[in-house]
Amino acid sequence: MPVADYDIYCRMLESARDGKFAYPALNVTSLTGVNAVLRGLAESGSDGIIQVSTGGAAFVSGQALKDMALGAAAIAEYVHKAAAYYDIYVALHTDHCQPHVLDTFVVPLIVKTERRRAAGLPNLFTGHMFDGSTLPLSENLDIAVPLLDRCHRNKLILEIEVGAVGGEEDDLTGEDNAAKLYSTPDDLLEAARRLSEIREARFLVAATFGNVHGVYKPGHVKLRPSVLKDGQKALESKFGKEGRFLLVFHGGSGSSLEEIHEAIDYGVVKMNIDTDMQYAFTRPIADHMFKNYDGVLKVDGEVGRKKAYDPRSYLVMAENAMTERVRQVVRQLRAEGTTLFRS
């Protein structure tokens, strides 16, 4: 049963916290991407997380439908089948569900899980993310708290965002207000107070410390991992050591190894990787097209070469490259050989 259930996922997160490593949370938009992630994790001996964003899920369902819940469910169903062949655990997450799509993305997926549970089947997803960062914190938490209650009753882990991540991802445009790019200790204390209303519920918090989606030239992004240290210190002072958050690093693509490790040392157990995966996937395809332009195109009345334009020829290259990038990320996050499978 390599798709992590609630109890296994809780063990995974605690293992990362105690072992000072983080799990890669890898966004996918195709079965080829899923296969690359599963293979890369297995070859690294690491458990991990497969994620589907709103835009990615809509893409998976096809241009005629653009149904986020359908696309996400399709990916999840395939992961449940394919992951059974690998000796690692993988959790399934949604990513960046903003308030205006909550009822068309995450809520229908929770309903599917409720129906599965009633039929004695495993949960479809392991966790969901609600991104209320576009709202004032009080409104963000007004939605997050009842959502956490519903997730807790169905053995799902909820991830929320406190602060805002800049840049762009899918159809999301990040915050331009520099102050919101850095979560304050007071923000985290208020989140802890409100979320604790749901007794014994498990959750993840994406606290922001200058994170920006996408990859930029050196010097553009001003990460301050010490923000996480300050927030955790405030939480521990108020609620004790158990009050420290399990943190998520958003906008992690392109970050320096030093920044990544510092963030992990302050409690990051999950790091989202999307942009780097997209580039790894596309780079060999571009190389193939440039080198074989007269094979993939019918130039000057010729017929091209079927082996060159057969999508399988270049998608294999994309899968291999993405697999290698997954292995690199696992090493960067200190997660090699940490799988709990059969432990």
> In the predicted model, is pLDDT for residue 270 greater than 50?
yes
Mean pLDDT, residues 253-262 = 86
Residue range 84-138, pLDDT digits in tens: 999 999 999 999 999 999 999 999 999 999 999 999 999 999 999 999 999 999 9
Q: What is the C-alpha to C-alpha distance for residues 113 and 102, in angstroms, rounded to an integer?
A: 15
Domains and their CATH numbers in the chain: 6-332 (3.20.20.70)
Is the pLDDT at 7 greater than 80? The verdict is yes
Number of C-beta neighbours around residue 315 at 10 A: 20
pLDDT band at 269 (very low <50, low <70, confident <90, very high): very high
> Does 95 qualify as catalytic in the annotation?
yes
Q: Which residues pair with 248 in a beta bridge?
A: 270
**262/165: higher pLDDT:** 262
Strand pairing category for 166-169 and 172-173: antiparallel
Stretch 271-291: mean pLDDT: 96
Residues 339, 343: Cα–Cα separation, whole Å: 8
pLDDT value, residue 310: 98
Distance CA 308, CA 311 (A): 8
**pLDDT by residue (tens digit) across 22-39?**
999 999 999 999 999 999
| pTM recorded for the entire structure | 0.92
Grouping H, G, I as helix, E, B as strand and the rest as coil, residue 40 is: helix
Angle between the 275-291 and 311-332 helix axes, to the nearest 10 degrees?
140
Catalytic residue of the set 18, 67, 87, 95: 95
